[in-house]
Chain A
Amino acid sequence: MSGGAGAGPAQGPAAALCTALARQCCALLRDTYLPRLEQSLAGIKAADLWWRPHPDTTSIGNLLLHLEGNVRQWIVSGLGGAPDRRVRESEFAAQQGAEAPALLAALTATIGRACEVIERLPPARWTERVTIQDFEVTVLAAVLHIVEHFSWHTGQITWIAKLRKGAGHGIAYYDDDALNAARNAGDAQAPAGAPRLAP
């Protein structure tokens, strides 16, 4: 982020904020969303991976292909300069394909490449305007887009996986007992009125 109109390259707090933002976005993709997908898809059957409630919606497999394509197009190509040859409609047209480990491996590889691009963005680039998939956006908007887009579809995938695995699915991203214990411990120690963030 620049320091304002007419300012030179970001320095000091602005540059530190860019670094922190890049790290946080990559941490969400790599260390939060991907592990959640891995947990929700552990042991899922191929039939459930490619199951669609009706032809006008998507399967988990489609969503995994779609996430991979989105991150590749917006970050690896859009910001990193790799050729963009994404075929978006094929991501949704597929009715069968690889099993979950292969789909997750492809997604993980693309996330790795994307994070290399994001973490190397110089501060001055965050306010630069770029055109990706026919949208003119800032680099900041492009990075935020892929993070929120990934979160959105991770939730959908999780819900479908719970549905298809049925009762006792075992998918849980938080340990409620541990959270409650931490809250109760905090209540005893925190000063009155201290703010607290819930996950």
Chain B
Amino acid sequence: MAITKVWVEPGCISCHFSEDTCPAVFEVLDEGAVVKPGADFSKHEAAIREAADGCPVQVIKFEET
């Protein structure tokens, strides 16, 4: 299963966990964590999963096919 889509649902508290865990894919802006445009998910699948699992408010989501 490959991760094909990653997004952040509303409710981010900007704790920087996703950015710290997977800086290649996530960054925190004024509105909260976002997925960096053009990020290559295939190279960071483990870190994306870790970011999603550890998100305190569980707003990091991904889709795999």
- Residues of A bordering B, CB below 8 Å: 64-65, 68-69, 72, 83, 85-87, 90-91, 93-94, 96-98, 102-103, 105-106, 109-110
Contacts and interface: CB of A to CB of B under 8 A. Distances in A.
A86 B16 CA distance: 10
A68 B11 contact: no
Given A85-B29, A85-B32, A87-B32, A93 B56 contact: no
A96 B54 CA distance: 14
A91 B56 CA distance: 10
A106 B15 contact: yes
Given A85-B28, A86-B13, A90-B13, 10 more contacts: A65-B13, A65-B56, A68-B15, A69-B13, A85-B29, A87-B14, A90-B57, A97-B57, A98-B54, A109-B20
A156 B15 CA distance: 22
Contacts of B26: none
B14 A85 contact: yes
Given A85-B28, A85-B30, A98 B58 contact: yes
Contacts of A103: 56
A186 B12 CA distance: 53
Interface size class of B (residues with CB under 8 A): 10 to 19
A87 B55 CA distance: 15
Chain B interface, >50% SS class: loop
Contact of A93 (B11, B14, B32): B11
Contact of A69 (B11, B15, B28, B30): B15
25 contacts: A64-B56, A65-B13, A68-B13, A68-B15, A68-B56, A69-B13, A72-B15, A83-B28, A85-B28, A85-B29, A85-B30, A86-B13, A87-B12, A90-B12, A93-B11, A94-B11, A94-B13, A94-B57, A97-B58, A98-B56, A102-B54, A102-B55, A105-B54, A106-B15, A106-B56
A87 B58 CA distance: 15
